Amino acid sequence: MPEEFSREQIILGIIIVALLAISFFLIKSMLPELNINPSPPEESPPSIIEEPVYEVKIGDVKFRIKEVKDRGNKLSAVDAYSWRPSDLITTEKFIEVTIEVQNIGTKDIKGGWDMKNIFDKEGREFAPYPEALPWVSPDSDCGAILKPGFSPTLCTKIYEVAKISSGLRVQVNVRNVGSDYLDLGI
């Protein structure tokens, strides 16, 4: 003989089933937040922070940044070291770089070293600007003989560089030994 359920018992049964269903879905949705079965944390690659390089040694030659000037878009004729009939103007900018170069070895280094081109972080390359030579200090002695133990020799060059360029660095080299880069800080 089947038992008959009262109306209250049926309603109570429906409420219990509904509460169980709601509890099931709440617990299931909260599991990721509770992190009950955590997956191992993803390893992030180590952050590489490259320190700027203002001094390098190539063989027996030490190169060091002495001064970097953003000269803007105009080299004034009155500031030239040698006679210049007019200003030198660009739509971009002029960068003047002076390095100190020293022989840290024991024998003369007869030339064969130089400050080459500037590169920006996008890989654009800028050669020394020959028209700016009248604005280079007469103290500049790029490529001179380096005697061991002597005070550093100065080498200055002016470059025409894109206004949008940043992360500038200059290439320095010693013939038959190698080359490297110095950061310009701009």
Q: What pLDDT shows up at residue 33?
A: 54
- Report the CATH number at residue 62: 2.60.40.1240
* pLDDT of residue 42 exceeding 60: no
**Does pLDDT of 49 surpass 60?**
no
Q: Reduced to 3 states, what is the DSSP secondary structure of residue 54?
A: coil
Q: Same structural domain for residues 24 and 76? A: no
Do 146 and 172 share a structural domain?
A: yes
The sheet that has 153-161: what strands, in order across it? 55-58, 61-75, 88-103, 153-161
Digit-coded pLDDT (tens) for 88-107:
999 999 999 999 999 999 99
Higher pLDDT, 30 or 173: 173
Domain check: are 24 and 77 in the same one?
no
Claim: this prediction has a pTM higher than 0.75: no
- Domain extent, residue 156, equals 55-183
Is 60 contained in some domain? yes
**What pLDDT is recorded for position 95?**
98
Asked whether residue 1 carries a pLDDT value surpassing 50, the answer given is: no
pLDDT score, position 96: 97
DSSP reduced 3-state for 51: coil
Q: How many domains does the chain have?
A: 2
Q: Which two tokens stand for residue 146?
A: 């380096």
State whether 14 and 62 are in the same domain: no
21 and 96 part of one domain: no
